[in-house]
Amino acid sequence: MNAVIISLICALCWGVADLFYKAGTDENDKHSHLKIAVWVGIAMGIMAICCLPMSESHSSITGLFSKYAVAYSPASLSYIISMVIGYAGLRYLEISIVSPVQNASGAFSAIATAVYITVVAKTNLLDDLSVLDIIGTAIITVGIISLGVVEQKLSKKELDLTGENKKYHFGALALIFPILYCIFDTIGTYADGRILDKEHGGLGLGENDVLILYGLTFFVAGIGCWLFMLIRNKKPYNPFKKSEIKKALASTAEIGGQIFYVYAMAKNAFIAAIVVSSYCIISVILSRIFLKEKLVAKQYACVITVILGIVLLGISKGVAEM
């Protein structure tokens, strides 16, 4: 299975996760993002334990964690920080605003990867890319960034129309959340690409080892969020209540995406970073179907642009593997 297909499966999983993240967010609960983080931590911990028998480096969690935890921490912590920031932004913004802006990180991390391979590893990235790869990547990048710009303008327009409407005032200010997400996710994606890139160095970690390390780190972060709410609210948060089912579904889709993401990055970090970032398209479409949001003509144009880029990458990789 090539990197494009694996990346598309990841994108589908994360698009579904976005839908349930938004559906499980309570705009009136200031700890809603921490509760989501607790659930994702639980799911990630389960994933780590399930992956342990398939570890390429160690037979125990402690052995793997003690040797590689510090080296992998830039990637895992960047992801966790970005995700919690993203959850917080969902209290004020619609998915169609949050997801496209956040996922410009895929384009930025791909650029960072290209710079690393060309300058640090002293390898010409263009030697491994076809003309269709370059064109497809450029089209996806333009589509994602354009969608982010369109969504930002729409948000500003809604603010102007609503005047003193408190929600939209917060919505305009809350654009800082997806922007910060984009910054931290770019760092994490770039670090993952370097760690998993066997051709140009890396830690020598296998895909399952990365899943274990990331899962354990997020599990610890989830415990930290739970303890923070316990101290702050003077009562324990129960993630297993029936009302929290949407958070559970979101976390399940999240780990599905995470598994495919790691394998996609290991195959081709440059292409994976671009294609995976297109999951914002799925998020936007699902939000229109299930959350009754509406697309305008410019948004449709951006969606079609990204899909065209993905098709070109798919054709390129299919021809290369024939």
Q: What is the pLDDT of residues 64-100, one digit of tens each?
A: 666 677 778 888 899 999 999 999 988 877 787 777 7
Centre a 10 Å sphere on the Cβ of residue 173 and count the other Cβ atoms it contains: 12
For residue 184, CA distances in Å to 91, 102, 106, 109, 126 come to 19, 10, 11, 10, 27
Give dist(CA 79, CA 82) in Å, integer: 5
Centre a 10 Å sphere on the Cβ of residue 12 and count the other Cβ atoms it contains: 17
Q: What is the dihedral of CA 19, 262, 181, 141, to 10 degrees?
A: -90
What confidence score (pLDDT) does residue 224 get? 97
Across the chain, where does the E strand assignment appear?
Answer: none
Query: In which element (H, E) is residue 307 found?
Result: helix 297-320
What is the tens place of the pLDDT at every residue in 24-73? 999 889 999 999 999 999 999 999 999 888 887 665 666 666 667 777 88
